[in-house]
Structure 1
Amino acid sequence: MTGKTGAASGALYLHIFVLAIVIASELIGIQRLPIGIGTVIFLPILYAFALGIAFNPAIFKATGKFLSRDAVKLSGAMITVAIMPFIAKFGTTVGPQISQIIEAGPALVLQELGNLGTIIVAFPVAVFLLKMGREAVGATYSIDREPNIALIADKYGLNSPEGAGAMGVYATGTLIGTFVFAIMPPIVHGLGIFDVRALAMSCGVGSGSMLAACTGGLVAAVPDQKDIILALAAASNILTYATGLYVGMFVALPLTEWLYNKARPSERRTAA
């Protein structure tokens, strides 16, 4: 009974902390910071994320008196549940904009190949600069969201070096990706290089929190294009979930394995 009571009180305190963070973030509201080439837009989700980190019991010891380790684990599990209504809302925006989505058809499908950019950019850094071992395979073959983690878990196991690399990127993406995805779209849009539809498609990387931050920043920058931004971002995110797993399974992961074996042939001979 004592354990159950403690877990219940921990969950109650967790909800109170979350509610307080949400209220504080909404009171701050959307803030804009002109930086010359564009405008950085700070959304309430950024403040909530920062406050959530600040009050993490591992960082701010005082909250450890109220939030137990089990409560912290519960908060991680609740992210998937809490994001579902948001994803459902995005799904309702696809139908009314279906004609424009079809018009963007080939670009929307082929944008999935952009996920291979993680290999081009991150693999050389991981292997040659950071001197990572096989962790580099799991860390660089994708942006390591849920479907990608599942693929690594099935092929190598999460206790493997590849699993450690994938989970490291997953955690880093969750912690930092939201900030990056909230700030980048308005800045890139301010450069005037890319069509707003292309930027909307780039928001759909298979992460609910990144999708929310990216579309929020883009809509704040181009409010008159809200419907098409939300529709294309949602369609892109759905396609990433639908096709991203296969691109990772048949293209990205084998390619990363091949590159790693070429970069570290001695390890391959040792393993053989």
Structure 2
Amino acid sequence: MQENSLRNWKIHLFVLILVCVTEFIGVKTLNIGIGAIALFPMLYALIIGAIISLPSLKILKTKEMNIAANILGISFMLFVAKLGMLMGPSLPKIFEAGISLGLQEVGHFAGTILLGLPIALLLGMKREAVGATFSIDREPNLAIIAEKYGSDSPEGRGALGVYVCGTLFGALYLSVLASVMAQTGWFHPISLAMGAGVGSGSMMAAMSGALAVIFPESAKDIAIFAGAANLITTILGTYICVFFSLPFTNYLYKKLEPILGRKAKQDQMKNI
């Protein structure tokens, strides 16, 4: 499959054109009153790539999209290797911030489960809410759900739905969020960089790229700490999801579903 991927000239041609066009556009800054939003080439590439991938346009076939997905995995391997080479000389800095990097999992837990699960139930989701909210649902988390419940289960559908949304909109959303938060002046650039390590390579790249535009003097440290945070989330977060997040989400679902679930609301309306 990888050999066929490398020989598919159409995909490589599209990538070359996208890179040339988006780099020509360059970094743009939009003032939104409370701050500025930095738009950079990766965002343009994501948007244009999403448009040319629409089935109705018939520019790319499903087979070619699957091949592109395989190439993306290879690209991320190279990207992670580059981050590793950046981290090596800066290990003392990373060790100094060790406990801060470890505590980032608290934020993931609070955001996805404590905030996300009640909202999912209010929207009418059932067991899909468990798969959708126990994590940010990247590749390792999908594997956990598929192993425990099966990919065709309600939990599997919920996890896959969040995965698709994160792939399509996550990078754009986080780049905008990072730009807005950076412009407030409330957080140190390194704190924001550590917040970029959510466990997704594309999301981390989008967020750290936006931060590097706003804080060019700290661009190298932003890349280092964002990469370290992302690596810790991927490794440590997987174990936390297995032994804590998923069991806790199931427990919370049993407690909240009778109260917030759509069926519970309908029963209350009948009683009235």
Matching residue within 115, 118, 123 for 1:124: 118
Matching residue within 11, 18, 21 for 1:24: 21
State the one-letter code of the partner of 1:214. M
Q: How many residues align?
A: 256
Scaled by the length of structure 2, what TM-score is found? 0.89
Offset at residue 99 of structure 1 (A): 2.0
CA contact (8 A) 1:203 1:236 kept: yes
Matching residue within 42, 47, 55 for 2:44: 47
Deviations 1:172-203 (A, max 9, x none): 00000010121111210111111111101011
Matched, 1:198 2:195: no
State how 1:164-175 maps to structure 2 within 5 Å: 164-175=157-168
Matching residue within 49, 58, 71 for 1:78: 71
Offset at residue 34 of structure 1 (A): 1.5
Helix, strand or coil for the counterpart of 1:40? strand
Where does structure 2 lack aligned partners over 5 or more consecutive residues? 262-272
State how 1:101-250 maps to structure 2 within 5 Å: 101-116=94-109, 117-128=111-122, 130-250=123-243
Q: For residues 59 and 218 of structure 1, do their structure 2 counterparts lie closer, same or farther at Cα, with a shift above 3 Å needed?
A: farther
Q: For residues 114 and 59 of structure 1, do their structure 2 counterparts lie closer, same or farther at Cα, with a shift above 3 Å needed?
A: farther
State how 1:244-263 maps to structure 2 within 5 Å: 244-263=237-256
Deviations 1:102-161 (A, max 9, x none): 221211111122111211221111112x10011100001110011111111111111111
1:270 counterpart residue number: none
The farther-off stretch of 168-177 and 100-109 is: 100-109
Q: Counterparts of 2:114 and 2:8 in 1: how far apart (Å)?
A: 43
State the one-letter code of the partner of 1:149. L
Helix, strand or coil for the counterpart of 1:47? helix
- Sequence identity of aligned pairs in percent? 42
Q: Counterparts of 2:106 and 2:56 in 1: how far apart (Å)?
A: 38
Q: Which runs of 4+ in 1 moved over 4 A?
A: none
CA contact (8 A) 2:55 2:61 kept: no
Scaled by the length of structure 1, what TM-score is found? 0.89
